[in-house]
Structure formats: C-alpha cells, structure tokens
C-alpha cells in the first residue's frame, strides 16, 4: 500500500507513523519537509526572482508536481493539521484527495475539530494521534484491532 503523508512539517508525526507501521508493507511518500528547500526550490533551480510573488510562484509550481504525483499515486492520503501554523496547503491537499476519490485520514488536535469540520466530514477517518493513524492503517490491511 502507498500512503502519502501531507501537512505540517514542524513535528515528528511522520516518523511516528512510519515507525509504528513497520512490517505492514507500506510505502510512505511526502512533500519536501525541509521548509527552506521547499520555499526556494524554484529559484534555486530556475533562477532568481526580484519579486517575492514570482519567487513563491516558482517554488509552488515545482512543488505542485511532487504533491500531485504523490496524491495521484497514493492508495491512502493522510493529512496532518498542526497547531503552530495555518496549513492552507494541507487543506488544499485534503480537498484534492477527496476530489480524486482517495481514502482520506485526517489528523489534528481536538481543538481544531470545529474549524476543520468540513474537512473532517470528507475524511474516512479523523484521528488525534499518529498512533491512531497507524491503527487505522493496520486495521485496513489486516483487519486486526489494536491491543
């Protein structure tokens, strides 16, 4: 199974899922999680821009290739909404996953349930911890409950 891990890049949630899912035969992919590399990839590869808008546009367009491939190739998409920043890109990825008909697992803290109610309504599962995501993936693959 291929799982695309989208969303915030400031905590260890991806590593916790990958470690917890060892032995399940899951291949994980993700966007570039080095914030500076993600922001500057366009100008680093295609040349500098004086205008910040075009600087960001080059990076966003290049990152969209990776994100689009990851979403289309995934069997399941997991989207993490973190606490520190508003992840507009995560909301976009969740919407794209839903539009592509991909099974969607959303991960966020309980206090974000209200602002994410529409995203949660589109999800197949809504989790509060990376370990719950692992339990969902294990159940999907094996039919076994945690514990």
Question: pTM for the full model?
Answer: 0.95
- Domain membership of residue 40 (yes or no) is no
Q: Into how many domains does the chain fold?
A: 1
pLDDT for 88? 87
- Domain membership of residue 45 (yes or no) is no
**How far does the chain reach from its first CA to its final CA, in angstroms?**
22
Cα–Cα distance measured from residue 103 to residue 125, given in angstroms and rounded to the nearest whole number: 9
- Domain membership of residue 110 (yes or no) is yes
Cα–Cα distance measured from residue 95 to residue 18, given in angstroms and rounded to the nearest whole number: 23
For 69-111, what is each residue's pLDDT tens digit?
A: 999 999 999 999 998 777 889 999 999 999 999 999 999 999 9
The maximal CA–CA distance of the chain, rounded, in angstroms, is 56
- Domain membership of residue 50 (yes or no) is no
- Domain membership of residue 9 (yes or no) is yes
pLDDT band at 41 (very low <50, low <70, confident <90, very high): very high
As a three-state string, the secondary structure of the chain is: CEEEEEECCCCCHHHHHHHHCCCCCCEEECCCCCHHHHHHHHHHHHCCCCCHHHHHHHHHHHHHHHHHHHHHHCCEEEEEECCCCCCHHHHHHHHHHHHCCCCEEEEECHHHCCCCHHHHHHCCEEECCHHHHHHHHHHHHHCCCCC
- Please count the other Cβ atoms lying within 10 Å of the Cβ belonging to residue 124: 14
Phi/psi at 29 (5° precision) = -130, 165
- Domain membership of residue 119 (yes or no) is yes
Phi/psi at 95 (5° precision) = -65, -40
Q: What is the span of the domain harbouring residue 87?
A: 2-35+73-142
What is the CATH classification number for the domain harbouring 129? 3.40.50.2300
- Domain membership of residue 54 (yes or no) is no
- Domain membership of residue 84 (yes or no) is yes
Pick the residue with more confidence: 38 or 147?
Answer: 38
| Angle in degrees, CA 99, 91, 74, rounded to 5 | 50
Supply the mean pLDDT for the chain: 96
């Amino acid at each position: 199974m291929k799982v695309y891990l989208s969303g915030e890049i400031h905590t260890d949630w991806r590593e916790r899922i990958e470690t917890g899912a060892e032995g399940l035969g899951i291949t994980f992919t993700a966007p570039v999680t080095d914030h500076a590399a993600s922001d500057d990839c366009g100008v680093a590869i295609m040349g500098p821009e004086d205008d910040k808008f075009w600087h960001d546009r080059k990076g966003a367009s290049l990152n969209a290739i990776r994100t689009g491939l990851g979403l289309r190739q995934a069997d399941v998409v997991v989207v993490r909404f973190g606490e520190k920043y508003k992840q507009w890109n995560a909301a976009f990825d969740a919407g794209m996953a839903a539009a592509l008909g991909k099974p969607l697992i959303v991960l966020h803290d309980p206090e974000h349930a209200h602002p994410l109610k529409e995203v949660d309504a589109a999800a197949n599962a809504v989790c509060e911890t990376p370990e719950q995501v692992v339990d969902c993936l294990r159940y999907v693959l094996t039919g076994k409950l945690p514990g």
